[in-house]
Structure 1
Amino acid sequence: MIEIPSKLEGQQFNLFDLESELKPLGYSIGGGWDYEKGSFDYKIDDEVGYQFLRLPFFAASGALDSKNTTVELGTPYLLSHKYQIGLDDHARIGNLQASFNQFSEPQVKDASFPEKYIDLGKSLVKELETVLLS
Structure 2
Amino acid sequence: MLKLETELQGKQARFGDIYPILLERNITLCGNWEYDEAMFDGVLSKDGAETIYLRIPFDVISGMLEDPETQIVFGQPFVLKHVANIGLDHEGDDLLATTGLNQFQSPEEKDGPIRRKSHWEEEGERVVQGIVESFPLLDERHIG
TM-score, reference length from structure 1: 0.81
Q: Distance in 1 between matches of 2:14 and 2:72?
A: 6
- Contact 2:86-2:100 at 8 Å conserved across structures: no
User: Residue 132 of structure 1: CA displacement?
Assistant: 2.4
Equivalent residue number for residue 77 of structure 1: 78
Which residue pairs with 1:133 in the alignment? 136
The aligned residue for residue 117 of structure 1 is 120
Which amino acid counterpart does residue 52 of structure 1 have in structure 2? Y
Contact in 1 for aligned 2:43/2:51 (Cα 8 Å): yes
* Correspondence 1:78-93 to 2 at 5 A: 78-86=79-87, 87=89, 88-92=97-101
Aligned-pair Cα RMSD in Å: 2.0
Give the gaps of 5 or more residues in structure 1: 93-99
**Distance in 1 (alpha carbons) for counterparts of 2:115 and 2:32:** 23
Aligned length: 126
Residue 49 of structure 1 corresponds to 50
Query: Does the residue aligned with 1:127 lie in a helix, a strand or coil?
Result: helix
- Amino acid aligned to 2:85: Q
% identical equivalent positions: 25
Larger Rg: 2
Instruction: For residue 31 of structure 2, give the secondary structure of its aligned residue in structure 1.
Output: coil
Counterpart CA distance in 2 for 1:65 and 1:75 is 20
TM-score normalised by L of structure 2: 0.76
The residue number in structure 2 matching 1:29 is: 29
Tell me how far apart the structure 2 counterparts of residues 4 and 42 of structure 1 sit (CA, whole Å).
Answer: 14
SS of the counterpart of 1:43? strand
